[in-house]
Amino acid sequence: MTPRLHDRLAAGISLLLLLALAGATFYLATIALQRAGPFIERPLGHEPDYFVEGVVFTRINQRGQPVFRISADRMLHYADDETTAYTKPVAISLDPTKPQLTLRAEEGTSSPDGNETHLHGNVVMQRAATASEAAMVATTDRLVLYADTEIAVTDRPVRIVQGPSVLTGVGMEFNNAARSLRVDSQVRITWQPPPQSR
């Protein structure tokens, strides 16, 4: 047998073996698909798709201006509803034309667009003092912050301390931009007038 004929015979046998392997693979894949049945897409469960430890980020409004700096010990993102959960969140307002607002809580959850944040567990909201007003501290167990408008709302019992004055009640809407506060019901107040300047 000549070397040339030997090479042709080896190439032919190799080609036949490859064709047989391809055919067997196709046959086995077809059988596997028939036994598996139709493909059914499983819905996403409410489990985090990623997390970040020691996160700090800045929330901006639709005009591209920074409105809040948010930090947390841990952040979890959920793909099924695009919400974000926080452990020990702290939110600080960044608008220099308004009194600084700081919110702290044990836990928090933000909406997919990040504008609405639900805080719960030992919620503390502090508005910084101004030239004409003492600092204000409000405590409650649940609160919703709307970042774009700097409005904080709760339907739970709330205690508000400003200087020596104390106000308690149920339900509150605080608007940092308008510098207004509304308490809805069961209002009790201990008011001390500010000291008179001489």
Could you give the CA distance from residue 72 to residue 90 in angstroms, rounded to a whole number?
A: 6
pLDDT in single tens digits along all 198 residues of the chain: 676 666 677 777 777 777 777 877 877 777 777 776 665 666 667 787 888 899 998 888 778 888 889 899 999 998 888 889 999 999 998 888 888 999 999 999 998 887 899 999 999 999 998 888 889 999 999 999 988 888 999 999 999 999 888 999 999 999 988 888 899 999 898 877 766 655
The secondary structure of residue 94, as a DSSP letter, is -
pLDDT score recorded for residue 3: 65
Task: Collect all residues with Cβ–Cβ distance below 8 Å to 47 and sequence separation of at least 6.
Answer: 78, 80
Beta bridge partners of 109: 85, 118
Backbone angles phi, psi at 19, to 5 degrees: -65, -40
* pTM passes above 0.85: no
Beta strands in 47-127 (DSSP E): 48-60, 66-78, 84-87, 90-93, 101-104, 107-110, 116-127
Could you give the CA distance from residue 75 to residue 86 in angstroms, rounded to a whole number?
A: 5
Could you give the CA distance from residue 99 to residue 82 in angstroms, rounded to a whole number?
A: 31
